[in-house]
Structures are given as structure tokens and as C-alpha cells.
Amino acid sequence: MQLAPERTGPVAQPSARVRRTARDLHPGAWWIWALGMATAASRTTNPLLLGLILAVVAFVVSARRTEAPWAKGFKAYLWFGLIIIGTRLAFRLLLDGQYGAHVLFRLPELELPSVAAGVRIGGAVSLEGLLAAFYDGLRLATLLICLGAANVLANPKRLLKSVPGALHEVGVALTVALTMAPQLVESAQRIRKARRLRGELGRRTHFFAEVLVPVMTDALDRSLLLAAAMDSRGYGRTAHVPQRTRRLTGTLVLAGLIGVCIGIYGLLDGSSPWTLGVPMLAVGLLAAGIGFFIGGQRVQRTRYRPDPWLLAEWGVSAIGILVATTMFAAAVRNPTSLNPSLQPLQWPALPLLPTLAILVGALPAWIAPPPVRS
């Protein structure tokens, strides 16, 4: 019996470039990053900075979105943003469009009774008024798109597993509510595809009866099915807790939330005493945390394959907090750079520190692990 000759050759060396393991980032990290970007957008009306925030959010979404049906609905949030800007401009045109000296044109003015003094419909429309409406509409649209990015990147069903036990019932309701927007996008895509297969896209259709009603009905039915499935799996069931413990938990949580609201108001209002700022916020967070810990004991549940919170989650969350903090500091130090003047009319500038902070917000496109793709 002749043995096969032993094969001698170069030993395969491991590749120098190791591919990162594909996994879904924790949904809480995506929400913290998106809320940080939305907070940064709420501190400015500079169209250059708002446009940069939109570009950064769109870049991160295109780099790290999954193949889920709702992950393809980012374009719908962009359309919603355009609708918001257009609506804001239309109301400004009709209701007191004269905000400065540079009058562009005049609309027919409607005479109102003396009861509506100070309200004007129609009349002169100035460049300053249109720019003010555009800045406000762009900021609101940017806020919506940042929250839409969180819906696109994060799975709200997985976020429910990380909700504290004291907020378990509230988490169930929020999960059903948050799935409404992704379900709307998915239902619209499915109905549009069905209408294309039937050859109805080029025909004259009744939008409300043939498109809007089926989309809303299908999205609501899917959300109700999710709620029924969660209820059948035991979500919302609680253990027996003495009445005294429940009252203590409710008092701590309510007092903590009131303290957090007062602390946030003290931080935003520069004329408030310093005791209403950070100290009240810290006391409120401590009381609410104790209440959540005590209330979580009455919810008995287990987690199957809990989502890990690793270094990538810390990095993405820290970037969102860093962007929001930098914009807060820039608004306190130099508010004119974040809110361009309209009277007198000036071209908006691009401040260095807020620009660098917003560009740092694009790092999750590389820090977050690549999503799982088929």
C-alpha cells in the first residue's frame, strides 16, 4: 500500500487585515447619538450648521443601516422635513411676512376686525421674514430627521429588553408607539409595490381612499399585533408588592422627575439661581434612580440573549453627548455665531468649534460595527 506523498509548501499565514465581526449595535447607543445630534440642532438656526448636521446624519445612516424593512425609510423622513419647511414658509407668507426692510413682493391683504388687532393676513413679504421662516423650518426638520435616523438604525423591539424594570409597562407602550413610524414606512413600500404590479402608478388615483387609508390601517394593525404578541408572552405582568412600597416608589419617581425638570430649567435659564441648576438636577436623578431600583423589584422577567454593551456602544454614546455638550458651550460663549442676525441682514458664518464637533458626530460610521447583512 503506497502512501500519498506528504505535501510540502508554504504555510498559509493569517491575513494581516482582520475583518470586524458583524453585529447590530445596541439600540440605546443609537438613540443617545441621535438625541445628541438633535440637541445640537436645537441650539442653532445657522443653515450652514444645520445642513452639516443633516449631511453627517445621512452619512452615518447610509453606512450603518441594516436590511430591515424600516431601515429603508430614511427617504420618507427627508420628505417630511421638506414638507415642514414648505409649510413654515407658506404660513409666513400668509401671516405677517414683513419682518424687515427688504420687501420682495406684496400679497392682497385681508382686512380684519379690531378684535384681531396685531394679526395680519397677506400684505408685504420681506426677505428677512422668509429667511426667519426658513431657518425655523430647517431646524424643526433637522430635529425630525435626527429622530428618524434613530428609528432607522435601532430596532425598537430590542430596545424594550434594556428598559429598567420600573418602566417596563411604559416601555411596552413606547415600543408599540415607536413601531408606528417604521410600520408606516414598511406599509407604504408594500402598498406602492403592489400598486406597481397592478399597473396603477401611472393612472389617476384617489390618494386618500386608495393609498393613505390602506397604509394607516395596515400600520395600525401590525402595531396591534405586536402589542397582542407581547401581552401573550407575559409583558406587563408584575409581582405582588406591598402598598407602602408602591407608594414610596411612586413618590420617589415623581419627585425625581420634578427635580430633573427644575434642574433642566435652571440650566437653560441663565438668570436662575445656581441652586436650581446642577444641584437640583443631581438630586432629581438620584431620587428617580432609587425609585426605579425599588420599583424594578416587582417586575420578574428574564432576558434571552441580552444585547451587549461594549466599547463600540460607549464610543457612539460618548460622541452624541460630546456634540450636544459642545453646542451648548458654544451657545453660551458666542450665541451670535449659532443664530445669524436678520436685522441687520448678515450672511451666516461657519464657526470653527461647532463645525468640528458636528464633524466628530460622523465617527459612528467607523466606530460602530458593520451590521449583519444577508
pLDDT at 358 over 80: yes
Position 110 pLDDT exceeds 80:
no
Q: How confident is the model over 33-60, as pLDDT tens digits?
A: 999 999 899 888 899 999 999 999 999 9
Question: For the packed helices 168-178 and 213-232, what is the interaxial angle rounded to 10 degrees?
Answer: 150
Strands 103-110 and 121-126: antiparallel
Which of the residue ranges 9-13, 73-77, 118-122, 320-324 has the most confident prediction, judged by mean pLDDT?
320-324
Q: Which residue, chain included where needed, has cell 452615518?
A: 60
Judge whether 177 lies within some domain: no
How far, in Å, are 65, 66, 117, 150, 167 from residue 370 at the CA level? 9, 9, 59, 16, 31
pLDDT higher than threshold 80 for residue 188 = no
Question: Has residue 361 got a pLDDT over 90?
Answer: yes
Residue 203 lies in a domain: no
Show Cβ contacts of residue 304 under 8 Å, excluding neighbours closer than 6 positions: none
- Confidence at residue 374, expressed as pLDDT on a 0 to 100 scale: 63
Report the alpha-carbon distance of residue 255 to residue 43 in Å, rounded.
Answer: 28
Q: What is the pLDDT of residue 298?
A: 61
> Predicted confidence band at 217 (pLDDT cuts at 50, 70, 90)?
confident
Residue 289 lies in a domain: yes
The average confidence (pLDDT) of the chain is: 77
Question: In this predicted structure, what is the pLDDT of residue 33?
Answer: 93
Query: Does pLDDT of 215 surpass 80?
Result: no
> Rounded distance, CA 206 to CA 359, Å?
44
Please answer whether residues 49 and 349 qualify as being in contact, where contact means their C-beta atoms are separated by less than 8 angstroms. Answer: no
State the pLDDT at residue 356: 93
Q: How confident is the model at residue 275 (pLDDT cuts 50, 70, 90)?
A: confident
Query: Taking the model in full, what pTM does it have?
Result: 0.70
What is the domain range of residue 286?
A: 241-298
Q: Which of 182-186, 197-201, 208-212, 367-371 has the highest average model confidence (pLDDT)?
A: 367-371
Is the model's pLDDT at 235 over the cut of 70? no
* Residues 248-271, mean pLDDT to the nearest whole number: 76
Domains: count for the chain: 1
**Looking at residue 13, what is its pLDDT?**
45
Mean pLDDT is highest, among 133-137, 264-268, 300-304, for 133-137
The answer to whether residue 2 scores a pLDDT higher than 50 is: no
**Distance separating alpha carbons of residues 209 and 200, to the nearest angstrom:** 14
Is residue 276, in this structure, part of any structural domain at all? Answer: yes
Confidence grade of residue 167 (pLDDT, cut at 50, 70, 90):
low
Per the domain annotation, does 286 fall within a domain? Answer: yes
The verdict on residue 149 lying in a domain is: no
Q: Where are the alpha helices (DSSP H) in 73-126?
A: 74-94
Q: Is residue 370 part of a domain?
A: no
pLDDT of residue 12: 44
**Is residue 240 predicted with pLDDT exceeding 80?**
no
Cα separation of 65 and 119, whole Å? 46
* 295-351 pLDDT tens trace: 666 665 566 666 778 888 899 999 999 999 999 888 888 888 888 888 787 888 888
Q: Would you state the pLDDT for residue 165?
A: 58
